[in-house]
Amino acid sequence: MWVLCHMELRDMLQSLQFDNSFVRRLPADPEVGARRRQVHKALYSRVAPTQVKSPRLIAYSREVTALVGIDEADTAAPHFAHVFGGNVLLDGMQPYAANYGGHQFGHWAGQLGDGRAITLGETLNAQGERWELQLKGAGPTPYSRTADGRAVLRSSIREFLCSEAMHHLGVPTTRALSLVATGEPVVRDMFYDGRAAPEPGAIVCRVAPSFIRFGNFELPAARGDTDLLRQLVYFTITRDFPELLIDGVPPIAEAQHAAWFMTVCERTARLVAHWMRVGFVHGVMNTDNMSIIGLTIDYGPYGWVDNFDLEWTPNTTDAENRRYRFGQQPQIAYWNLTRLANALLPLFATDALLQAGLEKYVQTFDATYREHIAAKLGLAKCSEDDVEMMHSLYGLLQSAEVDMTLFFRALSGVNPAAPDLALFAHAFYDERKRTAAAPDFTAWLCRYGARIQADALAPDARVTRMQRANPRYVLRNYLAQLAIERAEQGDDTGVHELLEVLRRPYDDQPGRDAFSERRPDWARERAGCSMLSCSS
């Protein structure tokens, strides 16, 4: 890997200002390079992206290029794909892979680390905001184990689109700057059936203020390295939680550690409540996939609920036990926070302050969940009776196989004086179930109609509130798969069309009805359109 300072890169060099605090302030692995190894007493390893044959820009987010301070005109130049395809390092970039562990599917997995993600550096934009630039699929690292460190086009498209879709839905998330085809094949066994095959390769540049995970703290704790744990906590608070600093006093006291952990719990609670609001299922809620700053991170076999089902998981690996199913995500987040608390325990005299943080998670999730119920139903406030009414609706939606997104979007059009089930005909996947459930749905709609007539919100305010909480467009798996199949044939327009639609998920967009329809029957069991493997 080499640094290129040609005249064609001059403007980008001037616009991207690097301040690589993670590298500057934390201990590094003394060995440089991608040799697989266990790394002790260090939080990262220096490793460069592996160059690719023919990098080509497929898509980029104009909002994210502006966020990090890249001129949009630069995206059209050939050098852009070379930089964000991993072929060229700009002046100031100091690439590395982070060292962390984690609990996977409920079991301690030991050292994991960035096996196919390489951070290029941290930039400071004109507003003083810090943004870490990370390439996913950029080649092997010391943490790749037996893998090649690459990513296939299908998973890269899904990560690129979902990162931006979640942001525009108002869900805390990492962002995606660019999607670059590598021009090289990547061999994957998509169905884990022994039939590995080459697929097009790609690299996503993802962006966040921090990519630190729960697992970053778990690994030094598991190894008994309290000094390294304390150093990481100190760094994380000072860089990523500056609001917790008091008159510049270093965050070394137990009370400051407790305030930080409580903040992590609060952010995690709000995050998962948002997932439940929009019907998002992460699919792999391992502790190494949980962001310390409360972002959705690591988009693998995720999915949006089509027909409402609290038991659904999009992950084929989890099909039997369904640990990470839709309805269990709040409980799994609590379990993950408990693992983080256990890792932090060496910094506390007792577990009392950590228990207070976990209790704060429960309180925050409950309060946020109620706020979302009120918004989704168009109510000024949410009472206990309203919670029961929503749960009753969930039971009906699940038993009658009703599309979550379509039902809640249509609910804003109900005439409270004369609710009509026909308004929701397009949301049912099974006509026989619709007929059988019609009396129960009608009764529920009458109850709901009476409730909103008694509510303090005016009708127009109710509709506006509901349409800001219930999206018209979400990134359904079958829509992503259609775009993937086109891109694999060399047609990138499907990716561009979806990105454009998902920029305004709450707005009615004339001419784009095809993006807001229920999952077609052909997609129910088709690969990539319902459940997905972790293969990427």
Please give the positions annotated as active site.
288
For 258-288, the DSSP string reads HHHHHHHHHHHHHHHHHHHHHTEE-S---GG
Q: Going by C-beta distance under 8 Å and a sequence separation of 6 or more, which residues neighbour residue 383? A: none
* Per-residue exposure over 494-526, b if at least 16 CB sit within 10 Å of its own CB, e if not: bbebbbebbbebeeeeeeeeebbebbeeebeee
Q: Is 162 left (phi over 0), alpha (psi -120 to 50) or beta?
A: alpha
What is the chain's Cα-based Rg?
24
Residues facing 46 on adjacent strands: 96
φ, ψ of residue 178 to 5 degrees: the values are -150, 160
Question: What are phi and psi for residue 121, nearest 5 degrees?
Answer: 160, 175
How far, in Å, CA of 446 to CA of 454, rounded?
Answer: 13
* Spatial distance between the Cα atoms of 533 and 536, rounded to a whole number of angstroms: 8
3-state secondary structure of 463: helix
For 21-32, letters b (16+ CB in 10 Å) and e give bbbeebebbeee
Residues 122 and 18: their CA atoms lie apart, in Å, by 5
State the Cα torsion 451-457-460-463 to the nearest 10°.
Answer: -60
376, 277 contact by CB (below 8 A): yes
C-alpha–C-alpha distance, residues 63 and 70, integer Å: 10
> Residue 111, SS3?
strand
* 376 vs 465: CA distance, rounded Å: 8
CA 143/CA 479 separation, integer angstroms: 33
Q: Letter for the amino acid at 495?
A: V
Can you tell me the distance from the alpha carbon of 286 to that of 465, in angstroms, rounded to the nearest whole number? 34
First-last CA distance in the chain: 25
